[in-house]
Structure 1
Amino acid sequence: MKSDGYISAPDAIWKLFKVRLSEHKAFKDLIYSFIRNRSEGKSFLDSKEELQSNPGANSRNNHFIHKNSLTKLYNAIILQAFFIETKKVKAIFSNPKMRKRAAELMAVVLKDRQCILGITLQSNEVEALLNVMNSDASLDALRLPNPFSELPQLSLSGMTSVTQALIAQSASLSQGSSMMLHFFNGDLEEAYQASCLLHSTDPVLNKYHSLVQQQYHEATEFDNLLDDLLN
């Protein structure tokens, strides 16, 4: 760790997950989406770039994360195991409604499973993870329990989140799980098709069934109105 409290990105990932970033390019690209500061507004992490000039090589920027942001980075990577979109993961930290939806989807994905796509789940950590997600605890300060024996970002061939991989294998999903996965990933058409086949007594699934049906019909009515106006 540098004297000013910053640590390099590879050292941070090693410290948090015992993963050598140089050996996992796809994972590196994913986590750098949290570390790089590309917007003019408030950055997600307390991080900085320093220009490093190496003899015989091109100049490049090295990224450093302050030790006070390591828990937030850890939590972002755990959530990224479920949700591929960086924008969505960041929103979970600041948007209570998004956090609640994320927690409900994670519960559906993890419920009564000992493994997901060959990745062993640690049952005690699953329950603890869902408890934290359903609480008001700050995700900036409290580290999320890790339910995975190995991060999905490292072990899913060609996939980078369990929801992405589960959607790709949707034939093996229940209609309820399929509906929620598609809905959270922004595919309202697929979510609606799954909702039409859903018959459940689960209150969470029924809540999302109504929400999907409502949003789909509203979107359809809007599309029809546009057609009438333009034709």
Structure 2
Amino acid sequence: MASGMTIPDAIRHLFGINVASSSSHIKDKANSMVRNGLIKVIKETKPQRSPTYLDIGQQTVLFNALLLNAIFSDPKDVKKIFEDKAFRQRAAVISKQLFGQSNSLVGVALCNPSAKAFVSSLESDVDLFTTKLPNPFQVLPQLALGKNLNLLSALLSQAALMDPVDNLLLAYINGDLNKAMLIAEQLPSDNKEVALLVQHMQKQQQEALEFNDLLDIFQKI
């Protein structure tokens, strides 16, 4: 049995956003997480049309997914946060670095107590499939920034002079692991949160090297 709500209806109910007139790309992001299997829907077959409704319990998944997508723009990463405990902890580290003590990020208004609660919930074992994360945003960043810019990249790119941690995060988000590792080598080793991210990058870098070695072996066969 479906929940009776379509994705646009649920977004309107959860966030007060009319995706038809305000931000259709938020609906597109939600649909991308339907396609990757994170958000479950039910299609009803009717003559001349097949309406799609959220499955039971999926409003919470949609809510959490769109909050996380405000920071992590790749739907694959959002799904992985739900499913992979270690990846979720790294996401919590990045979120904590992102929010810091600020109550405004590139013009996106935050509710500071909720921002801290959001990070704490992400760090905890709260089930993201059944429990809503605290909403740190007064307006979803996807709505404020537009479809071509996610909050993390926008924040890290805005400063003319960024501190080394910001540079590290920006290089990592842009997929430049080599640059990120070079920056990491210059950072103090006593920052535990940065150390977790560096460990993750080292693992990714090693996996990439092993994959390239495997390709070389196949090319020689």
TM-score range, shorter chain: 0.7 to 0.9
Which entry has the higher C-alpha Rg, 1 or 2? Answer: 1
Asked if residue 19 in structure 1 is aligned to residue 17 in structure 2, the reply is: yes
1:99 aligned to 2:88? yes
Q: Is the 8 A contact 2:88 2:122 kept in 1?
A: yes
The amino acid that maps onto 2:101 is D
Following the alignment from structure 2 to structure 1, what is the Cα–Cα distance between the partners of residues 82 and 199?
26
SS at the partner of 1:136?
coil
Q: What secondary structure is seen at the aligned counterpart in 2 of 1:21?
A: coil
Q: Which amino acid aligns with 2:38?
A: F
Secondary structure, aligned partner of 1:6: coil
Are 1:154 and 1:160, in contact at CA under 8 Å, matched by a contact in 2?
no
Q: 1:52 to 1:191 in 2, by over 3 A?
A: farther
Seen in structure 2, the aligned counterparts of structure 1 residues 17 and 172 have a Cα distance that, compared at 3 Å, is: farther
Q: CA deviation at 1:27?
A: 1.8
Partner of 1:45: 39
What is the correspondence of 1:38-77 to structure 2 with a 5 Å cutoff? 38=35, 43-50=37-44, 61-77=50-66
Partner of 2:30: 31
TM-score by length of 2: 0.82
Following superposition, the deviation at residue 184 of structure 1 comes to 5.0
Call closer, same or farther: CA 1:120–1:189 in 2, change over 3 Å.
same
- Identity within the alignment, %: 29
Q: 1:20 to 1:214 in 2, by over 3 A?
A: closer
Q: Give deviations 1:182-212, integer Å, cap 9, x for gaps.
A: 3355431232243244346422113434554
Structure 1 gaps, min length 5: 54-58
**Which deviates further from its counterpart, 60-69 or 85-94?**
60-69
3-state secondary structure, aligned to 1:143: coil
Report the AA paired with residue 3 of structure 2. G
TM-score norm. by structure 1 comes to 0.79
Q: Which structure shows the bigger proportion of residues in strand conformation?
A: 1
Q: Number of paired residues?
A: 217
Structure 1 distance, partners of 2:117, 2:185, is 33
* C-alpha separation in 2, matches of 1:222 and 1:11: 44
Q: For 1:175, give the aligned amino acid.
A: P
Distance 1:134 1:217, change over 3 A: closer
